[in-house]
């Protein structure tokens, strides 16, 4: 683990809020904390584990859970189908448990392709509050599916995910990524979108 994050500290519950006033950097290790499980583990810039993702079944399953280090479920992420349209939805949990009751998703992610350019995009719709309008984002990736960014409808940068490198430019491997989140952005929501993207592209 020290190779993935050189300043790994003791594991502690997630005590801070999901938004900050400065840019935040996270390390995503594409390994589950559950023995023989599938998912990933997320470290903050201090080396503390802040998120974990498990689907408990197999890679590219139809459901996964974004949790904090204590096991509290933040989002239940599921594959859905409406007629011929397939998409992923994220149900935000307010009690720390798997969300099986709320019919109103916190976000939806749908795929579309740009064949001539050789890359792809995911269309994202996010609902923050019932009395507020929804927000639209795009997840843009290139041929290397582990490198992608999230932008708003005006093309403004929100998040970038790419392979992590050491200070001297050496890659940590295909299963270690770095995620940069802009200020005043809910990084638990962003992590939920990253999970949906990972499931769509077979990364977890």
pLDDT for residue 121 is more than 60: yes
Mean pLDDT of the chain: 81
pLDDT at 29: 93
The domains located in the chain, with CATH, are 24-200 (2.40.160.200)
C-alpha dihedral (108, 185, 201, 40), degrees to nearest 10:
-120
Q: How confident is the model over 132-191, as pLDDT tens digits?
A: 789 999 999 877 778 899 999 899 999 999 999 888 878 888 889 999 999 999 999 999
pLDDT at 31: 86
Query: Between residues 182 and 204, which one has the greater pLDDT?
Result: 182
pLDDT at 1: 45
The lowest-confidence range among 41-45, 83-87, 194-198 is 83-87
């Amino acid at each position: 683990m020290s190779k993935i994050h050189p300043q790994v500290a003791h594991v502690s519950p997630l005590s801070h809020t999901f938004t900050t006033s400065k840019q935040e950097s996270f390390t995503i290790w594409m390994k589950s904390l559950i023995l023989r499980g599938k998912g990933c583990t997320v470290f903050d810039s201090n080396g503390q584990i802040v998120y974990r993702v498990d689907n408990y079944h197999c890679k590219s399953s139809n459901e996964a859970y974004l949790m904090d280090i204590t096991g509290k479920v933040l989002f239940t992420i599921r594959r859905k189908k409406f007629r011929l349209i397939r998409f992923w939805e994220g149900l935000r949990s307010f009690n720390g448990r798997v969300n099986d009751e709320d019919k109103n998703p916190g976000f939806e992610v749908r795929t579309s392709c740009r064949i001539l350019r050789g890359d792809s995009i995911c269309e994202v719709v996010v609902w923050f509050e019932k009395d507020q309008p929804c927000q639209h984002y795009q997840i843009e990736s290139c041929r290397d599916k582990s490198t992608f960014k999230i932008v708003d409808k005006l093309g403004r940068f929100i998040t970038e995910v790419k392979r992590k490198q050491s200070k001297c430019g050496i890659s940590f491997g295909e299963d270690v990524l770095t995620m940069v989140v802009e200020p005043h952005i809910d990084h638990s929501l962003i992590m939920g979108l990253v999970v949906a993207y990972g499931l769509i592209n077979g990364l977890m």
